[in-house]
Structure 1
Amino acid sequence: METLEILLVILLCIGAIQGIIFGIILWQKHGVHYLANRFLATILFFFSYRLIVETLNIFGLGRYDFWYHILLEYNWIYGTLIYFFIKSYVNPKFKFLRKDWIHFLPVLIEFTWSFFIKAQNFYWDGTRESLSWLGYWGYVVWMHYPTMFIVSGALIVFYSIKAEKILSNTIQVEGYKILEEKLDWIKRVVLVMKIFSIIYVVGILIDFFFFNFASNFFYGHPVFIGMAIITYWLGLEGFARRKESAFKQIAIISDKEKEQLQNIRKTLETKMKEEQLFKNPELTLASLSKQLSVKPYLVTKCLNTIYQKKFTDYINELRFKEVKRLLDNPKNDNLTLLALAYDAGFNSKASFNRTVKKITGKPPSALKTKS
């Protein structure tokens, strides 16, 4: 065995083993993403299976022998699994319905057709006449044309596009708030798989039309190296985030409560605009509630439900906007940034620095930088 093949075998085996181990861990993981974890685990299992089959092929197993008839193709399942992984990940109340099985029809067709084609070897005696018309041409199309590979890549691209639409148009589920930043890693994975599949299909078509489908190294080994890397990456990402949730549970409130909280919001915004209560450095939740003639827990509920903010964050953001307004006034050019911060209601330099850093991601000094 050449050095290149030894390295390839090592890489494929590492990817397969890692996929199986992480797949088992994810399959057993419970929680709000338990169904999504199982779809992800299934993806890893099928990726690992494909890497194992390719490893056996390198050792000469699975080429018109016992293993050839046992190791059937499942290349058309990846796109569907990716789609349902995303669909279940962004919806904590997702349920797999009977109608959803239609998406697995391609893999059933591939499995059935693969079994039928490989069974032709039992009838083949070296002549075309030993096979039926369907058996002969089916074998030719399946084994001598890049049919299964092109369909596989096309399905991944198709379902990746559907998955990207779901990720860009997430539906808010009652009782849950989706955390968009928790979806970034999935968006990267879907994008990479889509690009990888497009390159994969283009490479195979080039090989078929210009090299008579003879350059196995061109479309074969690099593809499986890519699969091994994606399997390793996908497994690590899923494993690292197995305890994370893309959702935050929020209280479900009645229409009567919504109306009450909206009234508090209107009063709150009026007070902040007309009386600028945020400029009081000693302002507390209790004193604000007293000004609004509302119980403190209702003010907190209003801020959490309508603004999705804590009391401190809400007030400090108003103070930050006031600092920005004061900075735009030429009359304040001679004042220090800290003086303006105190004028806006901040009660300490540390509080001001934290707020600016949290909102802008930059130090306070950047506020005075003129563009």
Structure 2
Amino acid sequence: MAILLKSTMTTWKAVLFLLASGQGLLLSFALIVKGLRNQRPNLFLGLILYIISLELLNAWGMQVRYHHSPDAFPFWTLQSYLVLPPSIWFFTQFRTIPGFLFRRRYWWAYAPAVVEMLVQVGRTLYGRTTGQHLPPLLENPIWFFCTEILPILGTAAAVGWLGYQLTTIAPEKRGRFLSIRPFVKHYVFFGFLLILTVLWTAGVIIDLPIFSGIELLLTLFLFAYGYLGYADSSYFDLRVAPKQKPAEKPSFAHFDDNQQWNRLNRAFEQDALHTQSRLTLEEVADRLQLPTRYISYLINTFHQSNFNHFVNALRVEAVIRKLNDPAEQHKTLLALALEAGFNSKSSFNQTFRAHTGQPPSYYLPKPNKSVGHL
């Protein structure tokens, strides 16, 4: 009975490995094609998924002893862990550094992985052609270090860089309203990679028996998360604004910064200046009888942003506030946007997503979505 139960568990595990790896490969190829066309970050996400999918397919092959079949297709030779560090690194660069450009010379980062795969394919073809049994490459300490240890170190560095970049995301840059979904979206992927790196290190370097219990769970999780990214290309947007240089205070020593900042806030809160379409810095300065450069300094110092970002944040807040006001439920999103000071549908949608990380429809009242869509 115990033997039958163990055999059944092994069979089910092999089936789940095969299904998960198949889904992951399909998704990775879709992301790679999407990335090659116009969304380059998806290319590197696809490469990450591709390596993990082949790893799970390799686990399936070991479960069913596929590798020992003379007619087996040697898919395991088309995998290299050396793909992971540069893929995570470039994915981070695209998603956290505005205006990052991928140059052709960066492809050289994948040269070690290509060399490893070519060597493995060549050895496999030579062994099958001559019938000779070649010793495993991993028995060579230099090869083991280059293909097993270096990828772990490189992945740890890339994941660390992703974590560091995430610390530059300031809540103020996304507006004053925070929801749990953008937070999860930004940090779960990093958490997954961090856990995967730690477990990978424990399995290879410390030689702990951890792969059988966690490989399926972590890989299926990544497939599910990757599918979200493919279904919504903006899902992985880590909206990090460019780092600004510290503002230098203009030579207006006779002004009290706290007092003038309170005046500025009252002007917007009481008179709703932000609801004026195409409001300019000069108009605000003229109303408060303050120099334009000093107002820019105040916003940069107290709000850590520029004038446009400050005004748009107030407008987005006004729309969200009205979406939850029963007295405003009869109005469309476009009407609310125009009342808040936006001058067009496209600028409203773009600005709203930039500040909140979500489309306007996400903030519609859940019980009664009576507000019209754009």
TM-score range, shorter chain: 0.5 to 0.7
The SS at the match of 1:308 is helix
The 1:19–1:220 alpha-carbon spacing in structure 2 relative to 1, beyond 3 Å, is same
Instruction: Give TM-score, length-normalised by structure 1.
Output: 0.55
Q: Which amino acid aligns with 2:286?
A: S
**CA distance, structure 2, for counterparts of residue 49 and residue 18 of structure 1:** 11
The answer to whether residue 61 in structure 2 is matched with residue 45 in structure 1 is no
Question: What residue in structure 2 maps to residue 359 of structure 1?
Answer: none
Q: Which amino acid aligns with 2:43?
A: R
From 73, 76, 94, the equivalent of 1:71 is 76
Question: What residue in structure 2 maps to residue 5 of structure 1?
Answer: 10
The 1:238–1:305 alpha-carbon spacing in structure 2 relative to 1, beyond 3 Å, is same
Residues 172-187 of structure 1 mapped to structure 2, 5 A cutoff: 182=182, 185-187=185-187
Asked whether the 8 Å contact 1:86–1:167 carries over to 2, the reply is no
The 1:3–1:156 alpha-carbon spacing in structure 2 relative to 1, beyond 3 Å, is farther
> Post-superposition shift, 1:193?
1.8
From 76, 97, 105, the equivalent of 2:111 is 105
Residues 1-371 of structure 1 mapped to structure 2, 5 A cutoff: 2-27=7-32, 34-63=39-68, 65-67=70-72, 69=74, 71-72=76-77, 73-119=79-125, 121-122=127-128, 138=137, 140-141=139-140, 148-169=147-168, 182=182, 185-207=185-207, 218-222=209-213, 224-239=215-230, 241-244=232-235, 246=237, 278=267, 281=270, 283-285=271-273, 293=286, 305-306=306-307, 308-310=309-311, 313=314
> Post-superposition shift, 1:69?
4.2
The SS at the match of 1:65 is coil
> Post-superposition shift, 1:29?
5.2
Overall identity of the aligned pairs, in %: 13
**CA distance, structure 2, for counterparts of residue 27 and residue 121 of structure 1:** 32
- Bigger radius of gyration: 1
Q: Deviations over 1:98-142 (max 9, x none)?
A: 33123213312321332354356355657xxxxxxxx75846328
> Post-superposition shift, 1:178?
7.9
> Post-superposition shift, 1:292?
5.1
Instruction: Give TM-score, length-normalised by structure 2.
Output: 0.55
Asked whether the 8 Å contact 2:80–2:117 carries over to 1, the reply is yes
**CA distance, structure 1, for counterparts of residue 284 and residue 207 of structure 2:** 75
The SS at the match of 2:68 is coil
The 1:294–1:78 alpha-carbon spacing in structure 2 relative to 1, beyond 3 Å, is same
The 1:68–1:98 alpha-carbon spacing in structure 2 relative to 1, beyond 3 Å, is same
Structure 2: which 5+ runs fail to align?
1-5, 242-246, 300-304, 319-374
Q: Which amino acid aligns with 1:93?
A: G
**CA distance, structure 1, for counterparts of residue 239 and residue 219 of structure 2:** 34
Question: What residue in structure 2 maps to residue 347 of structure 1?
Answer: none
More divergent stretch after superposition (101-110 vs 112-121): 112-121
**CA distance, structure 2, for counterparts of residue 148 and residue 240 of structure 1:** 33
Q: Which amino acid aligns with 1:85?
A: F
Asked whether the 8 Å contact 2:229–2:235 carries over to 1, the reply is no
**CA distance, structure 2, for counterparts of residue 85 and residue 95 of structure 1:** 12
**CA distance, structure 2, for counterparts of residue 197 and residue 275 of structure 1:** 48
> Post-superposition shift, 1:78?
1.8
The 1:178–1:67 alpha-carbon spacing in structure 2 relative to 1, beyond 3 Å, is farther
Asked whether the 8 Å contact 1:268–1:292 carries over to 2, the reply is no
**CA distance, structure 2, for counterparts of residue 159 and residue 249 of structure 1:** 18
Asked whether the 8 Å contact 2:159–2:194 carries over to 1, the reply is yes
**CA distance, structure 1, for counterparts of residue 108 and residue 284 of structure 2:** 60
Asked whether the 8 Å contact 2:80–2:147 carries over to 1, the reply is no
Q: Which amino acid aligns with 2:166?
A: L
The 1:273–1:87 alpha-carbon spacing in structure 2 relative to 1, beyond 3 Å, is closer
Q: Deviations over 1:178-219 (max 9, x none)?
A: 8999575343323332332222222334448xxxxxxxxx35
> Post-superposition shift, 1:147?
7.2
Structure 1: which 5+ runs fail to align?
127-134, 172-176, 209-217, 251-257, 318-371
Q: Which amino acid aligns with 1:235?
A: G
**CA distance, structure 2, for counterparts of residue 204 and residue 273 of structure 1:** 58
Question: What residue in structure 2 maps to residue 332 of structure 1?
Answer: none
The SS at the match of 2:101 is coil
> Post-superposition shift, 1:86?
1.3
> Post-superposition shift, 1:36?
0.8
Q: Deviations over 1:267-297 (max 9, x none)?
A: 998666579955995x3439999885359xx
**CA distance, structure 2, for counterparts of residue 46 and residue 29 of structure 1:** 17
> Post-superposition shift, 1:41?
2.2
> Post-superposition shift, 1:166?
3.5
Q: Which amino acid aligns with 1:23?
A: S
